[in-house]
Amino acid sequence: MSLFDKFQPIIDVRAELQSLGIMPFGAVTEKILSATEGIVNGHRVILAGTNNYLGLTFDPECIAAAKTAIEEQGTGTTGSRMANGTFAEHVLLEQELAAFFNRRHAIVFTTGYAATSGMCATLAGPGDTIVLDADSHASIYDGVRLSGADIVRFRHNDVADLEKRLRRLGERLSNTLIIVEGIYSMLGDRSPLREIAELKRRYGGMLLVDEAHSMGMLGEHGRGLAEHAGVEDDVDFIAGTFSKSLGAIGGFCVSNHPELDAVRFATRSYIFTASPSPSVIASTRTALRLLQERPQLREQLWRNARHLYDGLEALGFRISPQVSPVVAVTVEDRGQSIQWWNRLLESGVYVNLVMPPASPGDYSLLRCSVSAAHTSGQIERILAAFAALRGSATPG
C-alpha cells in the first residue's frame, strides 16, 4: 500500500490521453491575443470556454487601472486582511459591492473559492443543518464538509424534494442554512429561486445564493438571479466571484445582516491568506463600474448565447436544458468526447472538456461559454466546427 495508490485512476487516464497525443486537462494557453482569441496547445483558437462573460479582460479602462495600481502600490500586499493586507482600496471595493447589491455589508476574499467555501464553512457549524442542491459547486461541498454541520442534499432543482427535506427538519429549521446557485456552472441551468425563496419564507432558515455565474448577466442591474427573480429580500447572503463577469480573480459575500462583520473574523479562508493584490482590486473596481454603465454588454451576451444555443440545437446535439451563456453538449461516450474536444481544438475552437466526476452525471460535457466580446462571425465559426463533428458520429 502507498499514499499514491488512490491516484492510480488519474494516472491511468492521463497515460491513456498521453498515448493519444491529447491533453485536454491543463491545456496550455501560450498566448492571449484578445478577449476571444488565443493560442492553445499550439493552435490559434476562438476562446469558447473562458467564462469571460462581459469580455472585460482586455478593456482599456480595466488595464489602465491595474497598471496604475501596480505603479503606485506594488505587485502585492504580502499579508492577510487581518495583518497588513487591508489597503484603502479593499475597503472601497467592499463599499462599492455593498452599494451595487443594495446591501449594507460586504466582504472581499482573495478568490471565489475562498469566498464560497469560507462562508459555507463558517455560517453553520456543529449542531446546525445545511441543506444544499446536490449539483452544488465543489467549493460549496468543501465548505460544508469543513463546517461540521449536518448536511442534507436535495435533488438538483427539485423544489418538491427540498420542501420534503425542510419539513422533516422541524424545530431544527431555525438553525438551517439553505444553499443554491444562481446559474449552475456545468449545464448553465438556473435555480428555481422564486419557489425556493417561498419555501424559505414558509419554513424558515437562512438562504445563501452563489451568483458566481449569474452576476453581470441576469437582473435589470446585473445583480444576478435573485434580482431577476424578484426575491432579493429573501436572500440572506449572496456570494460570488470576480473571475467571471468582472474578468479578474477574487470573491465576495454581501448581506444585510450586521453579523457579517463578525463572520469576517471567524472565516479561516479570509483570515489566513494574503489579501488580493492592488492591481486586481483596481481592475475589479473598474469592471464593476463598467458593468453598471454598459448594459449593452449584457444584451450582447444574451444575443450571443441565443445564437450559439439555437445553432447547436439545430445541429441535433443534446445541449443544456435552457438558454444561457453556458452551453454544454452532452456526450455519452468518454472516448468520443475526448476525440471531439481534440477535433474542435484542431479546427480552431477551444471549449472545456468535463468528464466524471466533475460532470453532474455519468457522461462527459463539451462545455462552451460565450462572451459579449464574441462576434457573430466567431459564433458561426464555433458552430461550423461542431457541424463538422456531426459527420463523424451521432451526437451523444
Residues 239-262: what's their mean pLDDT?
97
Q: Which residues, 6+ apart, have CB-to-CB distance to 53 below 8 Å?
A: 216, 217, 244, 245, 301, 325, 369, 370, 371, 372
**pLDDT at 396 exceeding the cut of 50:** no
Neighbours of 2 (CB within 10 A): 7
Closest CA to 348 of 318, 384, 313: 384
**pLDDT at 258 exceeding the cut of 70:** yes
Predicted confidence at residue 224, as pLDDT, reads 98
Q: Which residues, 6+ apart, have CB-to-CB distance to 141 below 8 Å?
A: 132
Q: CA 67 from chain center: how many Å?
A: 26
**pLDDT at 126 exceeding the cut of 80:** yes
* Buried/exposed 109-136: b ≥16 CB within 10 Å, e otherwise: bbbbbbbbbbbbbbbbeeebbbbbbebb
| Rounded Cα–Cα distance for residues 306 and 12 (Å) | 39
Helix (H, G, I), strand (E, B) or coil at 108: strand
CA dihedral of residues 357, 123, 283, 49 (deg, nearest 10): 10
The grid cell for 381 is 465559426
Q: Among 15-24, 55-64, 79-88, 259-268, which is the least confidently predicted range?
A: 15-24
Q: Active-site residue among 137, 228, 244, 374?
A: 244
Q: Which residues, 6+ apart, have CB-to-CB distance to 162 below 8 Å?
A: 131, 154, 178, 196, 199
Say if CB 177 and CB 131 are below 8 A apart.
yes
| Rounded Cα–Cα distance for residues 54 and 59 (Å) | 10
**pLDDT at 355 exceeding the cut of 50:** yes
Predicted confidence at residue 390, as pLDDT, reads 81
Instruction: Give the Cα-Cα-Cα angle 30, 53, 41 (nearest 5 degrees).
Output: 20
pLDDT, the chain, mean: 95
Predicted confidence at residue 327, as pLDDT, reads 96
Q: Give percent above pLDDT 90 in the chain.
A: 89
Say if CB 380 and CB 62 are below 8 A apart.
no
Instruction: Give the Cα-Cα-Cα angle 288, 119, 232 (nearest 5 degrees).
Output: 55
Predicted confidence at residue 392, as pLDDT, reads 54
| Rounded Cα–Cα distance for residues 186 and 39 (Å) | 24
Is 6 one of the catalytic residues? no
Say if CB 281 and CB 91 are below 8 A apart.
no
Q: CA 141 from chain center: how many Å?
A: 14
Say if CB 379 and CB 308 are below 8 A apart.
yes
Q: Give percent above pLDDT 70 in the chain.
A: 99
| H-helix or E-strand spanning residue 131 | strand 129-133
269: confidence class by pLDDT, cuts 50, 70, 90? very high
| Rounded Cα–Cα distance for residues 243 and 223 (Å) | 15
Question: Domains of the chain (ranges plus CATH)?
Answer: 5-58+295-390 (3.90.1150.10), 77-276 (3.40.640.10)
**pLDDT at 59 exceeding the cut of 70:** yes
Is 243 one of the catalytic residues? no
**pLDDT at 108 exceeding the cut of 70:** yes
**pLDDT at 394 exceeding the cut of 60:** no
pLDDT digits (tens, 9 = 90+) for 369-381: 999 999 999 999 9
Is 244 one of the catalytic residues? yes
Q: Active-site residue among 117, 139, 147, 185?
A: 185
| Rounded Cα–Cα distance for residues 101 and 111 (Å) | 19
**pLDDT at 44 exceeding the cut of 50:** yes
Helix (H, G, I), strand (E, B) or coil at 180: strand
Residues 289-312: what's their mean pLDDT?
98
Q: Active-site residue among 90, 137, 213, 307?
A: 213
| Rounded Cα–Cα distance for residues 177 and 179 (Å) | 6
**Where do we find the cell 466533475?**
358
**pLDDT at 293 exceeding the cut of 80:** yes
Q: Residues 373, 375, 381, 382: is their CA dihedral positive or negative?
A: positive
Predicted confidence at residue 9, as pLDDT, reads 86
| Rounded Cα–Cα distance for residues 377 and 78 (Å) | 44
Closest CA to 96 of 309, 292, 342, 336: 292
Residue type at 75 in one-letter notation: T
**pLDDT at 395 exceeding the cut of 50:** no
326: confidence class by pLDDT, cuts 50, 70, 90? very high
pLDDT digits (tens, 9 = 90+) for 158-204: 999 999 999 999 999 999 999 999 999 999 999 999 999 999 999 99
